[in-house]
Homo-oligomer: A and B are copies of this chain.
Amino acid sequence: MASNTEENYLKALFQITIESGNKQEAGTNEIAAHLGVKPATANDMLKKLKLKKLIQYEKYGKSSLTKAGKKIAIEVVRKHRLWETFLFQKLAFSWDEVHEVAEQLEHIQSKKLIDKLDAYLEYPAFDPHGDTIPNAKGELNITIKKTLLEEEVGHQCKMIGVKDNSASFLQYVNKMGLSINQTIRIVARQAFDDLLEIEVNKKISSVSPKFAENIIVECAICNKATKA
């Protein structure tokens, strides 16, 4: 069983590699910076994780997850995102409050708990930030985060998250009648000032490009999801 700290390293490596850039590896300093520890500390841990066969690592080289390490990393990500969804949907936490608490909850060890939580939330596909939630088998749909700004005119999409987590933006979002899972239809894009006309709940309104690029959407029509 991996310790909380080991889980954090595996998650960091996963996020730096698979999620962010597309190279399947990360340097010691990069990992250390991501976790807020010194390179010397990360170095110790990388050697330990290698011994446990959770990562591949050679002196002076980059690190990458083994199959076993990736499995653990994805489980942690799954727990993190399910807890965020729980906090947001059931306990009325705001977007910007969920992450910190989920950092703690993601280390609770109980397969049963997380699978029951998943069922209780009705198997959500996305967390409140619009990130994909891996399923119980560890399958993760890596959807390219698409924003409302990029959505095509005429298409109907679903809001699945936000990029900006500031209270002011979230209030603005609420005022526009938008929330997670809300259906949005793109009515038109004004060439003159780039304003986007959208239809929400049968009401048409206009939003700025700046606003639109902070709304994450999913579109059944132009979906190009891939399995990881």
Q: Please report A residues at the B interface, Cβ cutoff 8 Å.
A: 87, 90-93, 97, 100-101, 104-105, 108-110, 112-113, 116-117, 120
Q: Is the CB of A91 within 8 A of B116?
A: yes
CB closest chain-B residue, reference A119: B91
Q: Is the CB of A104 within 8 A of B110?
A: yes
| Contact for A87 among B93, B104, B113, CB less than 8 A | B113
CB closest chain-B residue, reference A108: B104
CB closest chain-B residue, reference A98: B113
State the Cβ distance, A34 to closest chain B Cβ, in Å: 22
4 additional contacts, CB 8 Å, given A87-B113, A91-B116?
Answer: A91-B120, A92-B116, A97-B112, A104-B109
If over half of A's interface residues share one DSSP class (helix, strand or loop), that class is named, otherwise mixed; here it is helix
Residues in B whose Cβ lies below 8 Å from that of A112: 93, 97, 101
Q: Is the CB of B113 within 8 A of A91?
A: yes
Contacts A97-B112, A112-B97 given; indicate if A91 touches B117 (C-beta within 8 A): yes
State the Cβ distance, A3 to closest chain B Cβ, in Å: 13
CB closest chain-B residue, reference A101: B110
Please provide the 3 A-B residue pairs with the shortest distance between their CB atoms, ordered closest to farther.
Answer: A91-B116, A101-B110, A104-B108
State the Cβ distance, A110 to closest chain B Cβ, in Å: 5
CB closest chain-B residue, reference A105: B108
Residues in B whose Cβ lies below 8 Å from that of A91: 113, 116-117, 120
